[in-house]
C-alpha cells in the first residue's frame, strides 16, 4: 500500500460514572484516534494515552506531537506500507509505544480491509467469543462498592476486578467476598500503589482466594515483584512492567510474575502483543487482555486479541455500556458474560459518522 495521509482526531467521551484508580479519577476520556489513508483502503487506530502523564509517561498531546513530527514522517519516508514493517521503521524513535501502537493498528486495519481479512484471523484467534470481566474503580464507600459489584454481576460479567490502594484494600475485598461468596472470580489491581515494605500487609489478601494481584509495585521494580511473589500466596500479575516480549521473558525468568496482563497499546501494538502471548504460552504463563477505557475502535482489536489460545482468564474487554452511554462504533453488547469477536475485514467496526462528529474536539490532516 502507498500512504496518502494520516488524520489525527481528538475526541472527548464522557464516562457514565467517574472512574477512580490509585493514580487519579476520570470523568471524561480524551482519546486520540488515528486514521491512515492509503491508495487501497483506510484504517483506524486508537491511542490509549491519557490526558496527563500519570498512568505512564505518555499523554494525549505528547502522542499527537510525536506522531506529527516523527512517526508519520518516518513511515511516509519508508516507502510501501506493510503492518509488519511499522515497528522496525519506527524503532529508532525511542519509546512512545502508545503512539506507535495506534499508528501500527491503523496500518494493520487498512491492510486487512484491503485484503478482506479480519484482525482475529490475522492474530490467530481460536474463539468466536471471549469471556468478559469488569474493572471496578475505587469508591467513596463500601456500600457503594457492593452496589456496583452487584450490578455488574447481574449484567453477567464473569470476573470482578477491584482497584485498590493503601487504605482501600483489605476491607473492600473482604466485603465483596462476604457479600457475593467464594465462587465469584475476583482479583485486585494496585496500579503500582505499594512497595515491598507492604508485603506483610498484602499477604492479608491471601485469605480471599483471589485470582491475582495486579502490578502491586512500581513498574520498574521487577526484582521487587520477584521478592513479593515469594512472600504472598496470591498470584502476582504484571501489567505496567511488561512493555515487550523481551521484558516479559525476563520477568518470567526472574520469577516476578505468575500471570501477565497484555495491553496492546502499552506494548507498542497488536503484533508485539501477540509475541508476548507466544512467550507466555511457551512458559506456561496464563495471560489476559487489559483495558484502557477504549472506544469501540480499540475494543474491537482487544476482543480479537483475547480470542487467542493463551488468553485463559477473562479480560477487561467489557461491553461498551460499562463506560459510555453511546460508543463511537456500533456498541459491543455483553451476552452470557461474553463478547462476540468481530469477523469483518480489518477491525470489523468503523466509527458512526454522526456520533464521531458529536464528540470530536479537534482534527488535523497530515499529508504525505
Residue 23's pLDDT band (cuts 50, 70, 90): low
In the chain, CATH 3.30.390.10 covers 3-116+350-367
pLDDT for res 249: 98
Rounded Cα–Cα distance for residues 256 and 223 (Å): 7
Q: What average pLDDT does the chain have?
A: 96
Residue 361, burial from CB neighbour count under 10 angstroms (0-12, 13-18, 19+): exposed
CATH class of the domain whose range is 121-340? alpha beta
Which candidate, 57, 61, 70, 78, places its Cα nearest to that of 100? 70
In the chain, CATH 3.20.20.120 covers 121-340
298 in Cβ contact with 102 (< 8 Å): no
Average pLDDT value for residue range 194-211: 98
The one catalytic residue in 2, 161, 163, 230 is 163
pLDDT for res 129: 97
* Listed range (6-10, 44-48, 50-54, 236-240) with the worst mean pLDDT: 50-54
Q: Specify whether 263 is catalytic.
A: yes
Residue 305's pLDDT band (cuts 50, 70, 90): very high
pLDDT in tens, 236-280: 999 999 999 999 999 999 999 999 999 999 999 999 999 999 999
pLDDT in tens, 95-148: 999 999 999 999 999 999 999 999 999 999 999 999 999 999 999 999 999 999
Number of neighbouring beta carbons within 10 Å of residue 19: 19
Rounded Cα–Cα distance for residues 228 and 198 (Å): 9
Q: Specify whether 230 is catalytic.
A: no
CATH class of the domain whose range is 3-116+350-367? alpha beta
H-helix or E-strand spanning residue 355: helix 353-359
Helices H / strands E in the chain, number of each: 14, 13
The one catalytic residue in 2, 161, 230, 263 is 263
pLDDT in tens, 56-91: 999 999 999 999 999 999 999 998 999 999 999 999
Average pLDDT value for residue range 192-209: 97
Amino acid at each position: 500500500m502507498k500512504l496518502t495521509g494520516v488524520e489525527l482526531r481528538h475526541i472527548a467521551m464522557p464516562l457514565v460514572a467517574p472512574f477512580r484508580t490509585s493514580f487519579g479519577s476520570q470523568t471524561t476520556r480524551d482519546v486520540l484516534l488515528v486514521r491512515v489513508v492509503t491508495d487501497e483502503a483506510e484504517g483506524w487506530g486508537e491511542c490509549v494515552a491519557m490526558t496527563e502523564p500519570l498512568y505512564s509517561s505518555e499523554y494525549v498531546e505528547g502522542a499527537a506531537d510525536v506522531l506529527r513530527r516523527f512517526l508519520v514522517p518516518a513511515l511516509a519516508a519508508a516507502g510501501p506500507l506493510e503492518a509488519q514493517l511499522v515497528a522496525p521503521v519506527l524503532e529508532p524513535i525511542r519509546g512512545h509505544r502508545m503512539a506507535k501502537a495506534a499508528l501500527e493498528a491503523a496500518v494493520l486495519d487498512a491492510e486487512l480491509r484491503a485484503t478482506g481479512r479480519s484482525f482475529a484471523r490475522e492474530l490467530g484467534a481460536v474463539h468466536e467469543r471471549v469471556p468478559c470481566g469488569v474493572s471496578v474503580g475505587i469508591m467513596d464507600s463500601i456500600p457503594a462498592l457492593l452496589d456496583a459489584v452487584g450490578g455488574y454481576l447481574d449484567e453477567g460479567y464473569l470476573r470482578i476486578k477491584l482497584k485498590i490502594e493503601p487504605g482501600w484494600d483489605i476491607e473492600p475485598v473482604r466485603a465483596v467476598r462476604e457479600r457475593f461468596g467464594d465462587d465469584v472470580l475476583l482479583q485486585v489491581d494496585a496500579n503500582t500503589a505499594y512497595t515491598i515494605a507492604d508485603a506483610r500487609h498484602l499477604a492479608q489478601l491471601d485469605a480471599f482466594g483471589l485470582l491475582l494481584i495486579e502490578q502491586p509495585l512500581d513498574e520498574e521494580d521487577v526484582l521487587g515483584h520477584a521478592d513479593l511473589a515469594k512472600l504472598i500466596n496470591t498470584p502476582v500479575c504484571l501489567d505496567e512492567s511488561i512493555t515487550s516480549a523481551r521484558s516479559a521473558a525476563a520477568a518470567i525468568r526472574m520469577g516476578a510474575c505468575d500471570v501477565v496482563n497484555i495491553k496492546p497499546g502499552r506494548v507498542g501494538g497488536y503484533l508485539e502483543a501477540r509475541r508476548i502471548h507466544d512467550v507466555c504460552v511457551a512458559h506456561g504463563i496464563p495471560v489476559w487482555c487489559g483495558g484502557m477505557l477504549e472506544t469501540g475502535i480499540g475494543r474491537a482489536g482487544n476482543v480479537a486479541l483475547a480470542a487467542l489460545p493463551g488468553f485463559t482468564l477473562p479480560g477487561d474487554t467489557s461491553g461498551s455500556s460499562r463506560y459510555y452511554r453511546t460508543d463511537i462504533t456500533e456498541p459491543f453488547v455483553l451476552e452470557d458474560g461474553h463478547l462476540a469477536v468481530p469477523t469483518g475485514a480489518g477491525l470489523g467496526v468503523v466509527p458512526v459518522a454522526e456520533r464521531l462528529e458529536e464528540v470530536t474536539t479537534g482534527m488535523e490532516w497530515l499529508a504525505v
